[in-house]
Amino acid sequence: MTTTRYSITREDLTALLPDQPRYRIDQVWKGLFDELSSPSEMTNLPKDLRTRLDAELPLALEPVTETVSDRGDTIKFLWSLDGGSRIETVLMLYRDRATVCVSTQAGCAMACDFCATGQAGFTRHLTDGEIVEQVVLASRRARIKGRRVSNVVYMGMGEPLANEEPVWRSLVRLHDDCGLSARHLTVSTVGIVPGIRKLAERPMPVNLAVSLHAANDALRDALVPINKRYPIGDLMSACSDYLDAKGRRLSFEWAMIDQVNDRPSDAVELATLCRSLRLPAHVNLIPLNPTPGYPVRGSSRLKVEAFRDQLESLGVNATIRQNRGTEISAACGQLVAGQPVRITPSRERDS
Ligand code: SAH
């Protein structure tokens, strides 16, 4: 694969422009990652250099469609990659923050039944440049709306810790060059124990979210197949070591499935796991979003709230994840990047 615009390292850039003084390299670097400019917009550079950069540093993501919901506050991007596979990225604008949800793989090999990405299978890993580019392009979109991206969550298509090295390089790039703080970077994993251990050895204290969904092995084996390889005991010990290494509270994601994992006994088991950590884990409850291949329903709002209240009464902090983008299939577990089935009720008018 050729070097793309956001996979380039500073050394590559210097090698690409051997005739340029150092301050020019600095200008290009700052233009790309800090100012989010495309080369043609870098008016502080001579025109021939802009043209050269445009040609030599192509983008890796080709836009296919952009769909908007929540009155313009959720935007889903569908991209086509080198080789033809497709991925999605979601930009969510909240009152107090703007979050980009990035994909780390085209498809996913983890095969969780309730997740549309898992239902579709695995195609390929993304490169660090492809991950960073999702953030840059979504940030440029946010800027049109007068907003600045503050948070990045690795919760799109794919399993980040099955692609740890490029994911790590992208985190470093976002932190060092795009100016995002580690506190605002969150990696979500299905529970790949060696990946959690690897990430724990890395220097930056990024947030770790673990998609738990069940707090006993029998149920988790059924919902999250990788649990057979990395059962809850091993997972919790890796979580505890992550906490020791970083000193940051973990969060557990829990997709609430009607009569499967929303019973009072599930809350008790979950609270026990959360509290087994030195800093009890925070729980993110996600009302199950519909996907084509999973007939089970999500828990009712009332049950989700009762579950949250029960966790709170057991001394565990829990929040109900705001449901964003369900009507454009941009919500948790709905990213599949299939043929662009357009179910957009309203195109945004302000752009
Ligand atoms: N593979 C990683 C990153 C995906 S994050 C992981 O598993 O953590 C996406 C989150 O949405 C995960 O917590 C996932 O379990 C959850 N999810 C998947 N399908 C869902 C669905 N249909 N409804 C609600 N949440 C879902």
pLDDT tens-place string over residues 25-46: 999 999 999 999 999 999 999 9
Q: Region 123-129: what's the mean pLDDT?
A: 97
Determine the pLDDT at residue 151. 98
pLDDT tens-place string over residues 217-264: 999 999 999 999 999 999 999 999 999 999 999 999 999 999 999 999
Ligand 1 pocket test: pick from 296, 332, 334, 335 the residue with the most ligand atoms within 8 Å of its Cβ.
332
Q: What angle do CA 274, 275, 280 make, to 5 degrees?
A: 70
Ligand 1 pocket test: pick from 112, 185, 211 the residue with the most ligand atoms within 8 Å of its Cβ.
211
Instruction: Give me the percent of the chain exceeding a pLDDT of 90.
Output: 88
- Smallest CA-to-CA distance from 207 within 176, 269, 253 is with 253
Ligand 1 site, residue 115, Cβ cutoff 6 A: yes
pLDDT at 347 over 60: no
Q: How far apart are CA 201 and CA 12, in angstroms?
A: 27
CA of 332 to the centre of ligand 1 (A): 5
pLDDT tens-place string over residues 256-291: 999 999 999 999 999 999 999 999 999 999 999 989
Give just the sign of the alpha carbon dihedral 304, 305, 306, 311: positive
Query: Cβ of 241: how many Cβ atoms within 10 Å?
Result: 15
Strands 122-125 and 151-154: unpaired
pLDDT tens-place string over residues 174-221: 999 999 999 999 999 999 999 999 999 999 999 999 999 999 999 999
CA of 254 to the centre of ligand 1 (A): 9
pLDDT-derived band at 2, boundaries 50, 70, 90:
confident
pLDDT at 172 over 80: yes
Alpha carbon 102 to its chain centroid, in Å, reads 4
Residue minimizing CA distance to atom 3 of ligand 1? 155
pLDDT-derived band at 346, boundaries 50, 70, 90:
very low
CB contact at 8 A, 113 and 294: yes
pLDDT at 154 over 90: yes
Predicted model pTM: 0.95
CA of 205 to the centre of ligand 1 (A): 22
pLDDT tens-place string over residues 80-102: 999 999 999 999 999 999 999 99
Determine the pLDDT at residue 293. 87
CA of 123 to the centre of ligand 1 (A): 18
Residue 19, helix vs strand vs coil:
coil
Determine the pLDDT at residue 345. 35
pLDDT at 24 over 60: yes
Neighbour order of strands in the sheet with 98-101? 62-69, 74-80, 86-93, 98-101, 151-154, 185-189, 207-211, 251-256, 282-287, 318-320
Ligand 1 site, residue 291, Cβ cutoff 6 A: yes
pLDDT at 343 over 50: no
- Smallest CA-to-CA distance from 330 within 59, 60, 63, 65 is with 65
Q: How far apart are CA 320 and CA 341, in angstroms?
A: 28
Which is the closest atom of ligand 1 to the Cα of 284? 13
- Per-residue tokens: 345: 């009720």
Q: How far apart are CA 314 and CA 280, in angstroms?
A: 11
CB contact at 8 A, 157 and 188: no
Which residues are marked as active site?
88, 332
